[in-house]
């Protein structure tokens, strides 16, 4: 995803083929009218409040039931629409009616300047051309422009974001750590520590082994492990590194780490909803995740197997079991449910789960509309969903693996 920072524009920088008033309308006035005015003055042609129709320059100039001109190009002080939004003229009803929706000083200045410079109202195609040409040049006060595959409207496609809202989409960068810092973590804590606070003293070995054991295995250290670590003749750093290596080699490490992953992938031993049917083979996906952590499986391989293991490893039980990720969501199909609706719920669950699990991005909002807060358009949601459009629920034969605990099971051919 390419993120472009806009640069400040002066009047001298503006292309000569676009009038200043046109640019102001495309950049400021059109979005302002859509946000504040058109809901009552144009959205429903059969119900125009006060007779003021703000869908075109002609109807806006005519004004409304008062017979006073709504907009007088070049003369804002004679334009009843401008005087109404000032909310200080007793002759005109304050607009918008709600005080909480009143135009701020900056918006009032935009409207006044637009009228004073001629109140030019370019066509939709010309607005689109202006936005396309100037999107990367409009000032930093508008925020950051994000290139995407495009939304359902030009307003969404060209909208701006606060830089702080886009931190998750920024490329990773290397941050220099001072040479006297014990570690990157210690340095980050130190620079953000409130004034007057000091770091806690170094933990002793008994505390360290308890923390590390709970973190990496979810279990307290055994008395034997504590004794071994306390009596390790190596220095503290070397002894702790050896302890961590031993904990990483423990089968309980995979069990501990799998808990986090299974939470993200919506793992459950039953199907949810009213009937909550048991999923007799769900445990195989759970154990697959545990094995993957304990085997230190490359993360890219781990991802591919869960999304398309049955395609890239069609003859492997491991690949088939891995795609259990796609079936971990809640599921119910009864005689009361329309099959096509149930299937769309399945595809929606898979699409959003792929976004949350592998992209760290919720996609559910994009199912019905372009994302309200993030630069994710609806078309991208359905592009991802299209990948799984031919995926069908089915029973697949997957022979038990030697690593699987099949005690009490009889494999059926």
Residue 412 has pLDDT above 60, yes or no: no
Residue-wise pLDDT for 228-285, tens only, equals 999 999 999 999 999 999 999 999 999 999 999 999 999 998 888 777 788 888 999 9
Residue 284: predicted pLDDT: 94
Q: Lowest-confidence range among 70-84, 213-227, 290-304, 314-328?
A: 70-84
Q: Please write down the HEC assignment for all residues of the chain.
A: CCEEECCCCCHHHCCCCCCHHHHHHHHHHHHHHHHHCCCCCCCCCCCCHHHCCCCCHHHHHHCCCCCCCCCCCCCHHHCHHHHHHHCCCCCCCCCCCCHHHCCCHHHHHHHHHHHHCCCCCCCHHHHHHHHHHHCCCCCHHHCEEECCCCCCCHHHHCCEECHHHHHHHCCCCCCCCCCCCCCHHHHHHHHHCCCCCCCCCCCCHHHHHHHHHHHHHCCCCCHHHHHHHHCCCCCHHHHHHHHHHHHHCCHHHHHHHHHHHHHHCCCCCECCCCCCCECCCHHHHHHHHHHHHHCCCCHHHHHHHHHHHHHHCCCCHHHHHHHHHHHCCCCCCCCCCCHHHHHHHHHHHHHHHHHHHHHCCCCHHHHCCCCCCCCCCHHHHHHHHHHCCCCCCCCCCCCCCCCCCCCCCCCCC
**Same domain assignment for residues 233 and 299:** no
Residues 35 and 110 grouped into a single domain: yes
Q: Angle 56-373-381 (CA atoms, 0-180°, nearest 5)? A: 95
Would you say 257 and 297 are in contact if contact means Cβ atoms under 8 Å apart? no
Task: Establish if 400 belongs to a structural domain.
Answer: no
Of 116, 141, 166, the position where a domain reaches its end is: 141
Q: Which residue has the higher pLDDT, 11 or 193?
A: 193
Residues 367 and 348: beta-carbon distance below 8 Å: yes
Claim to verify: residue 357 and residue 333 sit in the same structural domain: yes
Q: How confident is the model at residue 193 (pLDDT cuts 50, 70, 90)?
A: confident
Tell me the pLDDT tens digit for each residue of 77-132: 999 889 888 887 777 788 888 888 888 998 999 999 999 999 999 998 998 888 87
Taking the C-alpha atoms of residue 31 and residue 158, their distance in angstroms, rounded to an integer, is 11
Question: What is the tens place of the pLDDT at every residue in 199-224?
Answer: 888 899 999 999 999 999 999 999 99
Residue 187 within any structural domain of the chain = no
Structural domains counted in the chain? 3
**76 belongs to a structural domain:** yes
Q: What percent of the chain has pLDDT over 70?
A: 93
Model pLDDT, residue 39 = 83
Q: Which of 141, 167, 191 is the last residue of a domain?
A: 141
Is residue 14 predicted with pLDDT exceeding 60? Answer: no
Residue 292 lies in a domain: yes
Query: What pLDDT, on the 0 to 100 scale, is given for residue 300?
Result: 97
Does residue 102 sit within a domain? yes
Regarding whether 383 and 267 lie in a shared domain, the answer is yes
Q: Do 272 and 221 have their domain in common?
A: no
Based on the domain organization, do 215 and 308 belong to the same domain?
no
> What average pLDDT does the segment 327-341 reach?
80
Judge if 214 and 294 occupy the same domain.
no
- 167 in any annotated domain: no
Same domain, 16 and 57: yes
Q: Do 245 and 265 reside in the same domain of the chain?
A: no
Domain boundary among 109, 125, 141: 141
| Separation CA 68–CA 49 (nearest Å) | 15
109 within 8 A of 10, measured Cβ to Cβ: no
In tens, the pLDDT along 366-402 reads 999 999 999 999 999 999 999 999 998 888 888 889 8
pLDDT of residue 6: 34
Assess whether pLDDT exceeds 50 at residue 3.
no
| Predicted confidence band of residue 1 (pLDDT cuts 50, 70, 90) | very low
87/208 same-domain check: no
Q: Is residue 47 part of a domain?
A: yes
Residue 2's pLDDT is: 34
- Give the span between the Cα atoms of 168 and 413, in whole angstroms: 49
- By CB atoms closer than 10 A (0-12, 13-18, 19+), residue 141 is exposed
pTM (2 decimals)?
0.70
Q: How far apart are CA 256 and CA 290, in angstroms?
A: 8
Give me the residue label for tokens 């935009």: 110
Average pLDDT over residues 174-197: 83
- Count Cβ neighbours within 10 Å for each residue of 379-390 and write b for 16 or more, e otherwise: ebbeebbeebee
Output the CA angle 408-411-413, nearest 5 degrees: 160
237 shares its domain with 291:
no
State which residues form the domain around 259: 253-387
What is the chain's mean pLDDT, rounded?
A: 86
190 domain residue, yes or no:
no
* Contact call for residues 146 and 156 (beta carbons, < 8 A): no
Same structural domain, 271 and 242: no
Is the pLDDT reported for residue 7 higher than 50? Answer: no
């Amino acid at each position: 995803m390419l993120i472009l920072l806009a640069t400040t524009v002066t009047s001298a920088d503006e292309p000569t083929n676009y009038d200043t008033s046109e640019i102001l309308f495309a950049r400021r006035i059109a979005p302002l009218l859509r946000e504040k005015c058109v809901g009552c003055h144009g959205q429903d042609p059969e119900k125009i409040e006060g007779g003021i129709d703000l869908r075109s320059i002609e109807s806006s100039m005519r004004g409304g039931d008062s017979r006073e001109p709504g907009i007088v190009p070049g003369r804002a002080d004679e334009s009843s629409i401008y005087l109404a939004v000032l909310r200080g003229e007793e002759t005109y009803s304050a607009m918008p009616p709600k005080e909480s929706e009143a135009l701020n000083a900056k918006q009032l200045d935009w409207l006044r300047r637009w009228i004073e410079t001629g109140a030019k109202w370019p066509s939709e195609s010309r607005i689109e051309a202006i936005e396309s040409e100037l999107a990367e040049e409009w000032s930093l006060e508008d925020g950051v422009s994000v290139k995407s595959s495009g939304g359902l409207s030009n307003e969404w496609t060209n909208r701006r974001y606060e830089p702080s809202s886009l931190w998750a989409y920024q490329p990773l960068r290397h941050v220099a750590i001072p040479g006297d810092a014990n570690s990157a973590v210690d340095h980050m804590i130190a620079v953000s520590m409130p004034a007057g606070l000091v770091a806690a003293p170094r933990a002793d070995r008994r505390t360290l082994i308890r923390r590390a054991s709970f973190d990496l295995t979810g279990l307290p250290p055994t008395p034997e492990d504590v004794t071994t670590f306390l009596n390790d003749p190596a220095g503290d750093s070397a002894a702790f590194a050896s302890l961590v290596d031993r904990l990483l080699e423990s089968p309980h490490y995979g069990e501990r780490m799998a808990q986090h992953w299974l939470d993200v992938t919506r793992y459950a031993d039953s199907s949810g909803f009213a009937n909550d049917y048991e999923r007799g083979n769900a445990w195989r996906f759970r154990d697959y995740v545990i094995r993957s952590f304990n085997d230190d499986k490359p993360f890219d391989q781990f991802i591919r197997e869960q999304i398309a293991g049955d395609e890239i490893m069609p003859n492997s039980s491991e690949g088939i079991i891995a795609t259990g990720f796609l079936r971990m969501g809640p599921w119910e199909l009864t005689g009361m449910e329309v099959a096509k609706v149930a299937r769309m719920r399945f595809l929606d669950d898979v699409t959003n789960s792929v976004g949350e699990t592998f992209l760290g991005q919720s996609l559910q909002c994009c199912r019905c509309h372009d994302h309200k807060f993030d630069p994710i358009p609806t078309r991208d949601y359905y592009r991802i969903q299209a990948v799984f459009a031919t995926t069908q629920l089915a029973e697949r034969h997957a022979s038990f693996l030697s690593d699987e605990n099949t005690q009490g099971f009889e494999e059926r051919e």
